[in-house]
Amino acid sequence: MAQASLARRMSAYQATAIFSVIFALIGFSYNVWRMEISEQNNTIRTAAFEVVKELAELEQLVYAAHYDADTVRGNPRVGWVKVGLVQELSMLIGPQVESQAALLHSTWTQRWQQMSVDTQAVNEIVASIDKTRAAIRSTIVNLE
């Protein structure tokens, strides 16, 4: 009888130990997964914030070139750098933003020379900037 009681206690102890190990592994796995998602979301938010800042500065540049005829604040070389930075950072945010940034780059490539004299060129560049912003907002809202 003592051996039967001992065997039951050993079985209960072993079952508890196995359950504890399984529970610890599941908890650790969930924690690692959650930390990876949190880090990814943080990277997306940081990149998105930087892109939004660059987009605002690009928009100011376009307006300065067109409405103020200011060749210093509306310097297209600075615009090229900003468009390039937006395109580079967009890949950290998501595919929707990356495709909008590519469209912004394309629009900029086609229209930057006319932005100081053509209102339509300004409107197309600003519309592309706005679409990129909208893609960023959509991505941020849908983060886990």
pLDDT in tens, 108-142: 999 999 999 999 999 999 999 999 999 999 999 99
Residue 15 in domain: no
DSSP of 14-26, one letter per residue? Answer: HHHHHHHHHHHHH
Dihedral sign for Cα 57, 63, 65, 70, please: negative
Q: What is the pLDDT of residues 54-112, one digit of tens each?
A: 999 999 999 999 999 999 999 999 999 999 999 999 999 999 999 999 999 999 999 99
In this structure, is residue 103 part of a structural domain? yes
Q: Residue 51 and residue 63: Cα distance in Å, rounded?
A: 18
**Based on the structure, what is the number of domains in the chain?**
1
Half-sphere exposure of 20 (CA within 13 A, CB side): 6
Give the domain range for residue 131: 42-141
Residues 6+ apart with CB under 8 A from 37: 144
The model's pLDDT over 8-18, given as tens digits with 9 standing for 90+, comes to 888 888 989 99
* Confidence band for 144, pLDDT divided at 50, 70 and 90: confident
Query: pTM for this one?
Result: 0.82
Alpha carbon 3 to its chain centroid, in Å, reads 63
20 inside domain: no
d(CA 108, CA 86): 12
